[in-house]
Amino acid sequence: MDFRCVKCLLLGFVFLFVDQAVSGKTSSNAERTEDRASQNKKRQDTLKRLAKLKVSYVAPAGGVDANFRKEYLKDIRKFGVSIPNEAFVNKNICRFSDTDSNRLLRLKHSINSDSKIIWAMRGGFGSYKLINSLKNLPDPKKKKVLIGFSDITALNLYVSQNWKNWTVIHAPMIVHLAKDQYHHPSWNMLLDILENKISQYKMTVLSPLNKAGEKAKIGKIRGKLTGGNLTLIESGLKTSWEIDTDDKILFIEDCHETAPSIYRSMHHLKEAGKLSKAKAIIFGHFVGVSEYKKYLKHFASESNIPMFITDQFGHGKNNLPLVYNADGCIEGNSLTVKLPRNR
């Protein structure tokens, strides 16, 4: 074979390689475009479903940033979702969306309105300051649903433990409808709950953190659900909204703390007697916390309470709903949530 033949063969291989690379890149780009289109369609369907619900939108903690308001005006509201201007108020008074009196006034209006759902715009900081005033209100006669997480944990705990005819759900808030935060499985399951399409559901991929958790693979752990943001749960000790953990399955998450502070807070709950009668603990996302799994595993090793970890709820995009006071059953690597009948 002379030099010219070898040269032709080499050029052929080069062209073939380049052609395959270009074809692969084009195919990959097409797949990404198709995925984005599919996600956008799903989000639009979610917005249309949301628009059919009777919702009061409130900001009892921090205020919504201007970027989300722009996205609402440009995109979200055209699907029928109607959020009043007062829900976008952001005076940023020490990170509160507004004065305590104004935030309380809007929350009370939502409680007494004809809406069926009160949905927090976002968490942030400050919902706990409204609870002392809520204590002075008569128990609401209307059954409603309260939705939120993070700082809204304070309201979630107070309402779920005192207003027995209300349904409280740890779930995505309205700012998570933004395109860069939207997670379809979380919203789809949440809307299925609100539309009474399901009576129970499963949260899978629970990984045991200790020997007691391992035993769940051959047995069942039952208890009603409660929990939320660890910082708020700890802050609520010795208050009117202190968490009741007796015979409960706790779900716990947090964000932007440090792993040692997470460990310390869990130890504080243990020392305060809040874990002694708990049936189990499920840890979710701890976004922005490096090595948190290592510290939680060490904490779990010091306890006989079954402990698990999952990426299915918390401050990450994946935030499947958890309904307070719902019957939970842990078996194997999954949690089955049986929804209250009177919701």
Any catalytic annotation for residue 150? yes
Radius of gyration of the chain (CA): 24
Q: What is the mean pLDDT of residues 168-189?
A: 97
What pLDDT is attached to residue 123? 96
Specify whether the CB–CB gap between 126 and 151 falls below 8 A. Answer: yes
Task: List the catalytic residue out of 127, 253, 265, 285.
Answer: 253
The pLDDT confidence band at residue 183, using thresholds 50, 70 and 90, is very high
Residues 203-247 have pLDDT tens digits of: 989 999 999 999 887 789 999 999 999 999 999 999 999 999 999
Q: What is the mean pLDDT of residues 76-98?
A: 96
What pLDDT is attached to residue 20? 55
337: phi then psi, degrees, rounded to nearest 5: -110, 115
Any catalytic annotation for residue 315? yes
Any catalytic annotation for residue 195? no
User: Taking 90 as the threshold, does the pLDDT of residue 200 lie above it?
Assistant: yes
Whole-angstrom distance, CA of residue 225 vs CA of residue 330: 11
Q: Same CATH fold, 200-338 and 47-194?
A: no
pTM: 0.90
User: Taking 70 as the threshold, does the pLDDT of residue 88 lie above it?
Assistant: yes
User: Taking 50 as the threshold, does the pLDDT of residue 17 lie above it?
Assistant: no
Q: Which fold has domain 200-338?
A: Glucose Oxidase; domain 1 (3.50.30)
Q: What is the mean pLDDT of residues 169-175?
A: 98
Beta bridge partners of 216: none
Report which DSSP code applies to 71.
H
User: Taking 70 as the threshold, does the pLDDT of residue 62 lie above it?
Assistant: yes
Q: Which residue ranges make up each domain of the chain?
A: 47-194, 200-338
Is CATH 3.40.50.620 correct for 47-194? no
Task: List the catalytic residue out of 150, 160, 265, 303.
Answer: 150
Average per-residue pLDDT for the chain = 92
